[in-house]
Structure 1
Amino acid sequence: MLPNALTLAALLAVSGSASSMTDAELAGIVDQRLAGDRTGACLAVALVDGDAVARTYRCADGTANPRIGADSAFEIGSVSKTMTAALLAQLIAEGKASLDDPLSAWLPAGTAVPTFEGQPILLRHVVTHTSGLPALPARMQMTDPADPYATLTPEALLASLGDVTLTRAPGAQFEYSNFASMLLSYAIAQRAGQPFESLINSRLFAPLGMDQAHIAQRPDGVRAAAGHLPNGSGTPAWTIPGDMAGVGGVRATLDDMVRYVQAQLGHAEGATAAPVLAALQLTHQPVSQHPPVAMHWMIVPLAGRNVLMHEGGTGGFSSLVGFDPAQGRGVVILSDTAVSALGGLGSLGAHLLDPSVPPGKPRKLTTPPSELIDGLVGTWCFDTGMQAELARSGDTLTIHPPGQPVFELAYDDAGDFFPTQFDAVLTPQRAADGSYSIVWRQGGGTSVATRVTDGAPAAAAAANGASRGDVPLEDYAGSYTLMPGFVLKVDSADGRLRAQATGQGAFPLDATGTDSFAAPAFGIELHFRRDADGEVTSLELHQGEQVLRGARI
């Protein structure tokens, strides 16, 4: 989600103010983002502003009776990680844990946990995604892509640690890891001596009055919202087994999440809530600075204050929780459709925390420009090694992977093509010289493709990061202020240029032309500018329709 996080961080750098609003006013704002959206998504949204709470349930088709309501439980995905962090924070407050505990001390004796030159993975590295562990365990057998975690066992989870060789010191670099988060969830349950669902219910849900929140044991009177792919078709619920569920297995209603946000802001009733509130405050404290991360909360700047946020997603759902402790304001957005690959919910969440930020707009079906179709027709080679043929079909494209049927692609006004028969997104990227590359997103993965031509080897070399031999990478190194409080740091590593925005992880750049570089997977282009003496003095960052310009510090 790096591109979403980068855009969100830029948006949050804008200052503004918000005031309490009515349910009807909130519905109007949500409609600005949602009405007519080609995904058909439905959103449950709440704005917490002091003691006031506005709520709305809206669908893209504008129906008066949305398919979701107050009794609908949504999969909240990775927002669950912040709840696992709250459980750990309670143990820390009780003197039973420390962020400086080695992960190995929390796992069964004999578990092979990797180290780097003798440096162990600590719990602080797990809650900040700097452990160095990969995104998923190597021994995770995905028998059903629509329910990928269903057959994962604790034995396979722990054995996968023995397959890892750390390539850098823990704490050195941010790299999102569900693997590490599953280990933490499992370890906390084992340390507590009770199933994870019982633990989170007794130590978090019950004290905060989150009476309808659950993992597998759905309370009476709660209905499971049905999940949907971005093409509008239904998709099965996800199953994250047993004690690993803290990685993303929580299901909750809008009111459950309102109570969760109110607690983050220091408000909850009952004597049993007091220790929970203290633990939640502990999860807000910065643990890592590059980028700024608390205990499973991302910290992003907002007009000189810190806003904490986390987005989540499963196969059929997306979610966002964010709050501004200084202003006593928070937001919850729950979607019954997976929209992470289409930009997520960040723009709407940012707008509700600060109305000076645009709320985003719906993606609507449209006809692609004829010249764009002509520019994409041809054979393409993906970095996975697969080839596919793009061909014109009337006023749109088709894609034909070898040995598979021909699939028609529709087009939306955000500039993306997508197959109508299954869930994926094809994003064209145009370089400064007019040539195209394409980015394919499917199932949480991203693949970049270049056109197969007589010059393919040279093009592939550029795509794989070969730097221009006539320009030293050091020419571009430095920090560039794109907005107040939002700086892009550029440096080089292993013969390749890379960039890192305020509050985000670093991402590699490929040379695309004279003083031009790109990160195609994220839709980012950088164009460096020189003065009369040939010194690089500024850059332009292009992402989607947004252009940010910054002088070199």
Structure 2
Amino acid sequence: MKTLPLCLALGLAAPALSAAGPNAVDAALKQRFDGDRTGACAVAAIIDGDRVERGMFCADASRRIGPDVAFEIGSVSKTITGALLAGLIAEGRVTLATPLAEVLPSGTTVPSFEGQPITLRHLLSHTAGLPALPPGFAPANMADPYADLTEAQLLDGLGKVQLAAAPGSAWEYSNFGAMLLSVAVSRIGGQPFPELARQRVFAPLGMDATHVGSAPAGTVDALGHRSSGDVVPGWTFAAALAGVGGVRSPLDDMVRYVQAQLGQGDAATVAMLQAAQAPMGNAGQPMAMGWMIAPFNDRDIFAHEGGTFGFSSFVAFDRVAGRGVVVLADTALTDLGGLADIGLPLLDPSVPVGAPRRLQSPPQALLERMAGDFLIGDSLPATLRQRDGALYLQAAGQPEFKLGYDSEGDFFPEALDALLTPDADGQGFTWMQGGGAMPATRVDAAAKAPSADAASLPPAADAAPLADFIGSYPLMPGFALRVFEQGGQLRAQATGQGAFALDAGGPDRFTAAAVGIVLRFVRDDAGRVERLELDQGGQTLGGARE
């Protein structure tokens, strides 16, 4: 259910769509997925006023889905939780300022910071200061990670948290916080999340096939797939926790959901959904009640992505233009950048569509350059070997496995969802898995050795003055990354988005693991930083320093 900053996931690899017309959705899906190595099947819809245009495409021509199957929508479920809370607030049951402790079972230990409590507002806006997952989270079955997590275990984990800062002071995406909010909404509403959602959202909008848990009669749940094409089990949640990511829905039901966000449908439900669109401030990422607010072509859009181990989703709408988009896929694509590279072009045809990742044979020179010993993160030794025209990775204490190669210049394991993006100089790579990024640095004899000219070489990132990197780097028209120093640490902030910390990961290289970003700074012949390259989700953007 990992979510990345929306605008940073946008690639520039393909031409923009022509103006929307007949079969525009089919054309866009084909452009994005035709021949894609994942074999993903996707359905999508453009909602433009009273007009709806739908499309469907399978990368491997299997047609394994139909327009009526239900997909896991993952973290898009959080927008439903936010709407339910908006309705409960309108009824006077709570306010955004209500402390979490007041709605949880008596005796629950809820952390605070110097007397400042966690409130419902903090959970909605991901500013409670909670970790991504509960302390001690240890799934019995990693393929279905939330299946055995109970409400009691969730609340027990809350008592083990110590806040490092005041709630509301910083944005950090937290599924832990979203599960607590789901529990809170269930308790405030007096019913488990699935029943509240059915009565207050699904039924009034005619979303009859949307569900949590078992599918209703006549509805077929799609099978989920890893990016390798392997079928994976669906995710299950305890009823009270399901607001974090437990909803399944077919395309037409999600179209009704977006139409209601734009003012069409049952009046009371529309009012509740639109109340949840109220901005909640910006402590690092502009948020509404469950929605992320993102600048997009001189206006704001509301959007959320979702990702489970077998599905991907993207839902967004532009209130000013009266236009929305839904994209649902039966494949886990988070580590490949998600669905923003098709969702945003459908929302606005001036945005370029992402390119499919097609299988290729890696260049022999690249294989030879990559072979060697590396340190992934701070503590995991790993070796890359090349033989018979392929690259093999072996981490310490683990078996060796073969890496495939695709048209985006990335390697990937054939047995799990992950991505290995080589550095241009061969001195390292970035390992993407689960939405996070870990830098890997070469540690073998092939690494650049000190020489008599070492004094003239660019300093390592942790030794270089932070001022070397400070500046603004335009990545595309109207969208720049500002790099600055705060409190002795380098930080970055994209146009209209929240700032995030950067950690040194090698010479002129920084990472933001929480959002899956790697920054590489490029110096000129005089040793001055002149540009940066940003890697995220297997895509690269670059910009000259201003």
Instruction: Show the counterpart of 1:34.
Output: 33
Instruction: Show the counterpart of 1:61.
Output: 60
Instruction: Show the counterpart of 1:214.
Output: 211
1:540 CA displacement:
3.8
Pick from 485, 489, 492 the counterpart of residue 492 of structure 1: 485
Instruction: Show the counterpart of 1:507.
Output: 501
Pick from 505, 511, 517 the counterpart of residue 519 of structure 1: 511
Instruction: Show the counterpart of 1:5.
Output: 6
Alpha-carbon spacing, 1:505–1:200, altered in 2? closer, same or farther (3 Å): farther
> How many Å separate the matches in 2 of 1:387 and 1:474?
31
> How many Å separate the matches in 2 of 1:458 and 1:184?
52
> How many Å separate the matches in 1 of 2:107 and 2:132?
23
Matches for 1:103-114 after TM superposition, within 5 Å: 103-114=100-111
Superposition RMSD in Å: 2.8
Deviations 1:474-533 (A, max 9, x none): 4644555555543423222453312121224413142754xx44327545335378999x
SS of equivalent residue, structure 1 residue 55: strand
Deviations 1:134-158 (A, max 9, x none): 0001143300110000000111100
1:385 CA displacement:
2.4
- Residues 19, 49 of structure 1: 8 Å contact kept: no
TM-score (norm 2): 0.89
Q: Match of 1:336, as an amino acid?
A: D
Tell me whether 1:549 sits opposite 2:544 in the alignment: yes
Matches for 1:175-186 after TM superposition, within 5 Å: 175-186=172-183
- Residues 350, 357 of structure 1: 8 Å contact kept: yes
> How many Å separate the matches in 2 of 1:99 and 1:9?
33
Instruction: Show the counterpart of 1:73.
Output: 70
Alpha-carbon spacing, 1:30–1:347, altered in 2? closer, same or farther (3 Å): same
Tell me whether 1:394 sits opposite 2:359 in the alignment: no
Matches for 1:272-283 after TM superposition, within 5 Å: 273-283=266-276
1:428 CA displacement:
1.5
> How many Å separate the matches in 2 of 1:357 and 1:196?
37
- Residues 437, 448 of structure 1: 8 Å contact kept: yes
Question: Could you tell which deviates more after superposition, 284-293 or 146-155?
Answer: 284-293
Tell me whether 1:85 sits opposite 2:85 in the alignment: no
Pick from 431, 436, 447 the counterpart of residue 440 of structure 1: 431
Pick from 361, 368, 381 the counterpart of residue 367 of structure 1: 361
- Residues 74, 244 of structure 2: 8 Å contact kept: yes
Unaligned runs of 5+ in 2: 451-459
> How many Å separate the matches in 2 of 1:353 and 1:380?
42
Q: Match of 1:440, as an amino acid?
A: W
Deviations 1:50-105 (A, max 9, x none): 11111112100234xx1111320100000000000000011122222211111111
Tell me whether 1:122 sits opposite 2:116 in the alignment: no
> How many Å separate the matches in 1 of 2:184 and 2:445?
54
Tell me whether 1:451 sits opposite 2:451 in the alignment: no
> How many Å separate the matches in 2 of 1:61 and 1:531?
47
Q: Match of 1:518, as an amino acid?
A: F
Tell me whether 1:21 sits opposite 2:21 in the alignment: yes
> How many Å separate the matches in 1 of 2:203 and 2:3?
34
> How many Å separate the matches in 2 of 1:475 and 1:145?
43
1:458 CA displacement:
11
SS of equivalent residue, structure 2 residue 144: coil
Instruction: Show the counterpart of 1:462.
Output: none
Matches for 1:262-301 after TM superposition, within 5 Å: 262-268=259-265, 273-289=266-282, 290-301=284-295
TM-score (norm 1): 0.88
Instruction: Show the counterpart of 1:143.
Output: 140
Pick from 198, 201, 209 the counterpart of residue 201 of structure 1: 198
Instruction: Show the counterpart of 2:322.
Output: 328
- Residues 36, 356 of structure 2: 8 Å contact kept: yes
> How many Å separate the matches in 1 of 2:517 and 2:375?
18
Q: Match of 1:206, as an amino acid?
A: A
Tell me whether 1:170 sits opposite 2:167 in the alignment: yes
1:444 CA displacement:
4.8
Question: Could you tell which deviates more after superposition, 489-498 or 519-528?
Answer: 519-528
Instruction: Show the counterpart of 2:417.
Output: 423
- Residues 32, 354 of structure 2: 8 Å contact kept: yes
- Residues 496, 510 of structure 1: 8 Å contact kept: no
SS of equivalent residue, structure 1 residue 224: coil
- Residues 225, 330 of structure 2: 8 Å contact kept: yes
SS of equivalent residue, structure 2 residue 6: helix
SS of equivalent residue, structure 1 residue 72: coil
Pick from 158, 161, 165 the counterpart of residue 155 of structure 2: 158
> How many Å separate the matches in 1 of 2:135 and 2:241?
15
> How many Å separate the matches in 2 of 1:491 and 1:2?
24
> How many Å separate the matches in 1 of 2:399 and 2:505?
35
Alpha-carbon spacing, 1:156–1:437, altered in 2? closer, same or farther (3 Å): same
1:293 CA displacement:
1.4
Matches for 1:44-59 after TM superposition, within 5 Å: 44-59=43-58
Q: Match of 1:448, as an amino acid?
A: P
1:121 CA displacement:
1.3
Instruction: Show the counterpart of 1:249.
Output: 246
- Residues 175, 505 of structure 1: 8 Å contact kept: no
Q: Give the count of matched residue pairs.
A: 526
Deviations 1:5-34 (A, max 9, x none): 3424788xxxx9986533x33211110001
Question: Could you tell which deviates more after superposition, 34-43 or 403-412?
Answer: 403-412
Alpha-carbon spacing, 1:164–1:501, altered in 2? closer, same or farther (3 Å): same
Alpha-carbon spacing, 1:92–1:440, altered in 2? closer, same or farther (3 Å): same
Instruction: Show the counterpart of 1:314.
Output: 308
Alpha-carbon spacing, 1:478–1:420, altered in 2? closer, same or farther (3 Å): closer
Q: Match of 2:432, as an amino acid?
A: R
- Residues 292, 298 of structure 1: 8 Å contact kept: yes
> How many Å separate the matches in 2 of 1:391 and 1:190?
54
1:321 CA displacement:
0.2
SS of equivalent residue, structure 1 residue 333: strand
- Residues 76, 334 of structure 1: 8 Å contact kept: yes
1:398 CA displacement:
1.1
SS of equivalent residue, structure 2 residue 113: coil
- Residues 298, 309 of structure 1: 8 Å contact kept: yes
Tell me whether 1:411 sits opposite 2:412 in the alignment: no
Unaligned runs of 5+ in 1: 460-464
Question: Could you tell which deviates more after superposition, 379-388 or 46-55?
Answer: 379-388
> How many Å separate the matches in 1 of 2:522 and 2:380?
33
Deviations 1:99-131 (A, max 9, x none): 111111121122111111211112111111111
SS of equivalent residue, structure 1 residue 86: helix
